[in-house]
Chain A
Amino acid sequence: DAGITQSPRHKVTETGTPVTLRCHQTENHRYMYWYRQDPGHGLRLIHYSYGVKDTDKGEVSDGYSVSRSKTEDFLLTLESATSSQTSVYFCAISPRQASYEQYFGPGTRLTVT
């Protein structure tokens, strides 16, 4: 499982509330990613990080922010959750830039009511 954990694994929240999802890795990988998975859309990149405090936007970044203050933790924040952000969120790591291989965490199912 590449030493990746996500928390919480399930969350139900109300529209307009802030939500933070955590991705934690134990193997000191430099590259980390946040994806969302929705039926018919596959996996879409939200944000990624290439080091502590180094982050950039992905394909569907609107409404999301990220932070990485430590190598092992990559946080995804929904500042004001909307129903369109109901999804399954996966964190991923890449052990080596050159390889491009990415390995996924177990996922967080988020429901915004």
Chain B
Amino acid sequence: GENVEQHPSTLSVQEGDSAVIKCTYSDSASNYFPWYKQELGKRPQLIIDIRSNVGEKKDQRIAVTLNKTAKHFSLHITETQPEDSAVYFCAASTNAGGTSYGKLTFGQGTILTVHP
């Protein structure tokens, strides 16, 4: 099955700096890569996603890049703000045998702390 590794496990930045979180996946058939943000005690929330036919996607201060050859994808947050502090999870979804129900395999999470 798919295996997703996420690094770093913790990341501390100053307000205004950029933050980068990286994930690698094992199954070359994976074709969908979402990122979730989870604040303390809350549900994970989808913040951005990318499909395997796209190399980069941006949404205001966040962007995701995908390198299919190397089987890794990254989340980039620019101009970080204290409200960006949360746990971020990457995930990958794989077609299996031609039928896929969108089963996601998650990374272990990154605790991002943005210091004012």
Taking beta carbons and an 8 Å cutoff, which residues of A are in contact with B?
Answer: 1, 31, 33, 40-45, 48, 50, 56, 58-59, 90, 94, 97, 99-107
Report Cα–Cα, A48/B101, bound state, in Å: 9
Partner of B101, one of A31, A41, A90: A31
Q: How far is the CB of B93 from chain A (nearest CB, A)?
A: 5
Binding site for A on B (CB under 8 A): 1, 6, 32, 34, 42-46, 49, 89, 91, 93, 100-109
Q: How many angstroms between the C-alpha atoms of A9 and B41 in the bound complex?
A: 12
Alpha-carbon distance between A56 and B77 when the two chains are bound, in angstroms: 36
Check A48 against B103 for contact (C-beta < 8 Å). yes
Q: Known contacts A42-B107, A42-B108, A100-B34; is A59 also within 8 Å of B101 by CB?
A: no
B45 adjacent to A104 (CB under 8 Å): yes
Please, which residue of chain B has its CB at the minimum distance from the CB of A54? Answer: B101
Q: What chain B residues lie within 8 Å of A33 (beta carbons)?
A: 103
- A50–B101 Cα distance when bound, in Å, is 7
Chain A residues near B89 (CB, 8 Å)?
A: 42-43
Q: Is B34 touching A104 in the complex (CB atoms < 8 A)?
A: no
Contacts of B91 in A (CB 8 A): 43
Closest partner residue, chain B, to A58 (CB atom) = B103
